Amino acid sequence: MAATPSPRKRGSSAVRSKTLDFRVGGNDARHVPRKRFGQHFLVDQHYIERIVGALGAQPGDRLVEIGPGLGALTRPLLDRVTHADVVEIDRDLARKLASEFTADHLSVHVADALTFDFRSLGSDLRIVGNLPYYISSPLLFHLAQFEANLRDVTVMLQKEVVDRMIAPPATPEYGRLSVMLQVLFRIERLFNVPPGAFRPAPKVGSAVARLTPLREERPHLADERLFAQIVAAAFGQRRKTLRNALKTLATEVQLESVGIESGARGETLAVDDFVRLANSLAVGSNAE
């Protein structure tokens, strides 16, 4: 169903001058993009099809789209699946989408994805979305908590964030985000997307990434909180040596006992090194 702009917006020239006319995929919605919600809408059919194709959704898949916006991805995705859930913070956009589809085809959750309990939607979830860039890192950390409930995550992000997600050790992009995601997921960059594919165009380039839970290949973590603490401390001040950065968590002897040079910097440690260190400290503290 086409959404009708409110009479107030129609009549206001101040608003109309900023209103963009999006007729994406048959949607007849007029909407003023809200900067505070990071709204950059996909309008290039080529990239819409590439994202939908990369997902390869099947009818029974449990699809969850974060930030459906004006529905550029939602519509072609709903052609492929019997039902999808979407999580959208913008009430106006959520209402437009809810009016276009029946509830048995689309469940619209008006919510902040940063606090949304994805577990409530079940398991084997396939997350998809052109994510709002202003919260991309916290949103990835939030999604990581639900790793056991996810089949995969296919998301568009700022290119620079994807660089950080897939970065190997000892590179400038390697940091907390790389380690905390790589310990749980296999991460692939699928393709880049230029700013011209969006309205309004963002100032930065974008890329689509896929995260697949490692499952049985996932390294065992004796204490996940301790692991997260160590990683955060190691990258908190990148210029510090591990001896100093981890002062409150590990002694030099403890570092060296698992083969980690205390004079090295956090960015030189591989994910496995962080796992080994965290597990040895967890075992040590349990034995006390």
Which residues form the interface with ligand SAM (CB under 6 A)? Answer: 37-42, 66-70, 72-73, 87-90, 93, 112-114, 130, 132, 135
Least distance (Å) from ligand SAM to the CB of residue 47?
9
Judged by CB, which is closer to ligand SAM: 94, or 231? 94
Least distance (Å) from ligand SAM to the CB of residue 21?
14
CA 121, CA 109: separation in Å to the nearest integer?
Answer: 11
Q: Residue holding tokens 């996940």?
A: 224
Do 277 and 230 form a contact (C-beta atoms < 8 A)?
yes
Do 63 and 88 form a contact (C-beta atoms < 8 A)?
no
Least distance (Å) from ligand SAM to the CB of residue 224?
24
Q: Does residue 157 come out as left (phi exceeding 0), alpha (psi in the -120 to 50 range) or beta?
A: beta
CA 241, CA 184: separation in Å to the nearest integer?
Answer: 26
Question: Element (H or E) spanning 13, and its range?
Answer: helix 13-18
Minimal CB distance residue for ligand SAM = 67
Judged by CB, which is closer to ligand SAM: 138, or 236? 138
Q: Given CA atoms 140, 143, 144, 145 in this order, what sign does their dihedral have?
A: positive
Least distance (Å) from ligand SAM to the CB of residue 123?
21
Judged by CB, which is closer to ligand SAM: 97, or 250? 97
Angle among Cα 245, 246, 251 to the nearest 5 degrees reads 130
Least distance (Å) from ligand SAM to the CB of residue 287?
43
Judged by CB, which is closer to ligand SAM: 160, or 261? 160
Least distance (Å) from ligand SAM to the CB of residue 133?
7
Judged by CB, which is closer to ligand SAM: 33, or 266? 33
Angle among Cα 30, 32, 33 to the nearest 5 degrees reads 120
Judged by CB, which is closer to ligand SAM: 112, or 224? 112
Structure tokens at 269: 């440690």
